[in-house]
Structure 1
Amino acid sequence: MEVHASLRLFGGKRALRERVRDEAAELGVGQVSSASTSLAALAFARAGVDNGFARPLQEGLDRLPMEVLSAVEPHRDTLARLGCKTLGDIRKLPRGGVSRRFDKKLLTALDQAYGLRPEGLQWEVLPETFKTRLELMSRVELAPALMCGARRLLLQMCGWLAARHCGASAFTLRWAHDAMRARSAGDGGELTVRTGEPTRNVEHLSRLLNEHLAKTELLAPVGDLELEAIEVRSLEPASASLLPDTLQQGESLREVLERIAARLGPERVLRPVLTEDHRLEWMQFWQPASGKPPRERAASDGMPQPTWVLPQPLKLATQDHRPMYQGVLHLIAGPHRVEGGWWHRIDTADGADTAHVQRDYFVALSEHAGVLWVFQERLANDHTAWYLHGVFA
């Protein structure tokens, strides 16, 4: 990787090298080295040397065995018979003789490694879709144990998403059964994980996948994994602040709800959603917390709305045409007229009926019960009747 232009962004050469080393270890990378040229960095990595800047480049490369450069491989036996063991030994040979006896690739590779000739590096071109496989080091018989290999695939997917400035809202993990399996077990299985919003947070995706695998039973030992991003959308990262970060650490509420829903089932984790309806009974409905909510609206229209709603309106006693509930009620706001629902048909004990309402709501104060939400029915036979419908917390 050519990182010279990014050193300041990542806090300097040492900080970037340590970050690459730590994060690449989870992807199975065994050695990370740095140098002033790409071929030199590759040579140091193959020789097990971490820092190619510890000594001058020529001195460091001259000490390395000649096998660290791929261009040496076709001529290794010949060079060995000439007494060469290190890259420094090859450089001591006459350039004219090396040029005539060996191909140009050898001298070109040496010059590029030592910084005597410019290197023509190519940009890494990412594929349009993400789908990759991993052969496990041993056969896995329990589904939760698949996380060790699956996390490596998730890291690759999140890296691909970050490079494309995207997030995944759904991905599929597939596994292939071992060849020595029962015929009834089939070739393998798969598991699809969905999120409420596109993300490339590897920790959150790992927790979600782990919850799903905890409820999965493998029919046979697994030898191979495959991960595919099936729903990808553009995702711009949040702007960083110049002020100290005061945001809470850990999972957000959305991530916690998605993880709990993965464990208990989406039908057991619900949230209320406001709808385009002024009738109190149908002003909201419950849906899975991980689902995408419809377009919401503020349903109060300037009037306060009760915190708790009674399952059925309670008819109140009256005194001199004033409603009573643990004493005479004092009307402090209203009327708030709500009318509609002629289109809404519901099933009742007497058959199908409409949920049409014509009500005037008031905010009322009770000396003992607090603030209440009461109404009168317009155009009703008993237009003096009052009903209690909600309580303010």
Structure 2
Amino acid sequence: MPARRILSVWFPRLGADRLLRRLGDQHGAPFAVLEETGQMQVISSLCPLATAAGLRVGQPARDAHAMCAGLITRVQNPHAEASFLNALTRWAGRYSPWVAAQPPDALMLDVTGCTHLFGGEAALMATVLQDAADLGVHAECGLADTPGAAWALARYAGRGVVHDRSGDAIDQEARATRSRAAKRRHWERGGTAPGNSPGTQGQGSAPRIAAPGMTRQALAPLPVTALRLDGDTAAALARLGLRRIGDLTGQPRGPLARRFGKGLLMRMDQALGAVPEPVSPQAAPPRFATRLSLPDPIGLREDVEAALARLIPRLCDLLRAKGQGARAIRLEAYRADGTAGWVQIGLARPADQPDRITPLLAMKLDDLDAGYGIDILRLEATQVEPIYAARPAGHLDAGRAARERAGRDTALEDLIGRIGARVGLDAITRRHPASSHIPEKCSTVQPAAWSEPAAAGAWPLPPGPRPLLLWRPELVTAPDTPRPPATFRWRGQDHALADATGPERIAPEWWLDDPEWRSGVRDYWHVVTQGGARLWLFYAHGAALSSGWFCQGQFA
């Protein structure tokens, strides 16, 4: 059985390459893609000319324009980049039937038994790089026995490592500290001279193909960040002088696990093949989307509504054909300048009817910025659930119940959807009964859009009336006697008793240690004051805490 061989294909300039494929006339100028971070715009992808100008990913847009006056920028469209990566996943199927996407910018291919069809591993890698270049996409590849090693070789092999005068690699240190690191001449105090440092041979480069069984040797000169470690762990290792993977593999595992956790050892074992890491391509999910390309850009609300009148019925037909209903729908508007905007709605119940979807989308159209004009509208059901058709069959009563379920009124669900479009579906809740005799625990709060209404007989009848408002017990200043006091003080005011009904005795749940019920058994009273207030008072008989009077609610 041949050894397992994994090919990692990384697209470091995916966002810029996607846009430059459409803006072919602007290849002669530096180009960058900007990401909205909420506070400012930062660079997420660069073309080679912009990189040569000194710009870098993560740099603020204002600094980039100051460094490069001729910089051309576009705003990032994450949905379009994800779709582009999915298209590249289908494209990579020509090299292997086992392709897995690694968002946001990479693919992982299991090429075991496939390389001979292309003339060997090196020829396969060259073919992938050339085909990607023909598509206008820059790619980097790495091939090894494990996904972790292939990932590391694709991103770090063949790159020169920054060295200081001591011969240590300092490419993982911040730029501000590299000038200080260059002054560390430790060989003058008995250290190894830079010319004799093993890390200086070949500028720390490594081949992008690790021969079968040679994974450890291929990874040894790479920085520890090639193990897919987080920034804090990599910085801590660098402070200890462990900058290369070869420095880690020779260290005792016990101290590394105690200091950096099991995550570091897991990443090492995955890269070296001691821990299996499968390549799991996902089956293509069913897509429910429809698109309308316009002959001329539009910007008026009436035009968008007319386009939706054609898109929504078509989307509902696609949903009904598969027995699905939409729970979340996204409307994407692609503008004439290459940018895009989108709005999203949620529904309280799965829907495949245009009259239930159209009003919700109409409420969101004001949030859609047309910019210089919209030339493509795309409507997609991003979250779907099955809708089971109820058909009368069998016994007469069963058929009647099926007809009632099939024709049940959806007015409440539509109302929840309309309110949720403005305040969010998670902000709308409903109460459900709970199996507890404690007043504050007799019900639970659940999201209305993700729960069914409680059945008519599900609510148990309490032995006594319950107040409309319920809060945590508040201390009442009154004589410490079990009978309702003639006068008491609550919330800074004096009250006189007019009427009292009770008591209703409620005992705590002895199998739970509830701090609110450490005062023992309670006697609840419905109290009416002379000022007209109708309060729910109780007298705690005292257990772990002292006895006394408390107020827990107010009647309407």
Question: Given the alignment, which residue of 354, 369, 374 partners 1:217?
Answer: 369
2:467 alignment counterpart: 306
CA RMSD of superposed structures (Å) = 4.4
Q: Is 1:175 the equivalent of 2:333?
A: yes
Once the 2 structures are TM-superposed, how far is the Cα of residue 304 of structure 1 from its aligned partner?
Answer: 4.1
Q: Is 1:334 the equivalent of 2:470?
A: no
- Judge conservation of contact 2:432–2:454 (CA < 8 Å) in 1: no
The Cα offsets for residues 7-27 of structure 1, whole Å up to 9 and x where unpaired, read as: xxxxxxxxxxxxxxxxxxxxx
Query: Higher mean Cα deviation, 217-226 or 289-298?
Result: 289-298
- Judge conservation of contact 2:292–2:307 (CA < 8 Å) in 1: yes
Question: Given the alignment, which residue of 392, 413, 418 partners 1:259?
Answer: 418
Q: Where do residues 1-393 of structure 1 align in structure 2 (5 Å cutoff)? A: 129-142=287-300, 145-178=303-336, 181=337, 186-237=338-389, 252-266=411-425, 269=428, 271-272=430-431, 279-281=438-440, 289-292=448-451, 298=459, 304-310=465-471, 312-315=473-476, 317-318=478-479, 321-324=482-485, 326-327=496-497, 330-339=500-509, 354-355=515-516, 357=518, 358-364=520-526, 366=528, 369=532, 372-377=535-540, 378-379=542-543, 382-383=546-547, 385-393=548-556
The Cα offsets for residues 167-212 of structure 1, whole Å up to 9 and x where unpaired, read as: 111222222222xx2xxxx432333322122112311211111112
Query: Higher mean Cα deviation, 274-283 or 374-383?
Result: 274-283
Gaps of 5+ in 1: 1-126, 345-353
1:67 alignment counterpart: none
Q: RCO higher in 1 or 2 (8 Å CA, sep ≥ 6)?
A: 1
- Judge conservation of contact 1:278–1:299 (CA < 8 Å) in 2: no
Shift of the 276–146 alpha-carbon distance from structure 1 to 2, 3 Å rule, reads: farther
Once the 2 structures are TM-superposed, how far is the Cα of residue 332 of structure 1 from its aligned partner?
Answer: 3.1
Identity, % of aligned positions: 23
Structure with more helix by fraction: 2
Query: Higher mean Cα deviation, 130-139 or 273-282?
Result: 273-282
Structure with more strand by fraction: 1
Counterpart AA for 1:234 = P
| C-alpha separation in 1, matches of 2:513 and 2:354 | 47
Once the 2 structures are TM-superposed, how far is the Cα of residue 329 of structure 1 from its aligned partner?
Answer: 5.2
| TM-score, normalised by the number of residues in structure 2 | 0.37
Counterpart AA for 2:526 = A
Counterpart AA for 1:360 = R
| C-alpha separation in 2, matches of 1:143 and 1:373 | 54
| C-alpha separation in 2, matches of 1:361 and 1:163 | 60
Shift of the 361–140 alpha-carbon distance from structure 1 to 2, 3 Å rule, reads: farther
Counterpart AA for 2:330 = T
For residue 369 of structure 2, give the secondary structure of its aligned residue in structure 1: coil
- Judge conservation of contact 2:299–2:373 (CA < 8 Å) in 1: yes
| C-alpha separation in 1, matches of 2:377 and 2:324 | 23
Shift of the 261–128 alpha-carbon distance from structure 1 to 2, 3 Å rule, reads: closer
Counterpart AA for 1:379 = A
Once the 2 structures are TM-superposed, how far is the Cα of residue 217 of structure 1 from its aligned partner?
Answer: 2.1
Gaps of 5+ in 2: 1-284, 393-398, 487-495
| C-alpha separation in 1, matches of 2:466 and 2:499 | 18
- Judge conservation of contact 1:362–1:375 (CA < 8 Å) in 2: yes
| TM-score, normalised by the number of residues in structure 1 | 0.50
Counterpart AA for 1:211 = M
| C-alpha separation in 2, matches of 1:361 and 1:284 | 21
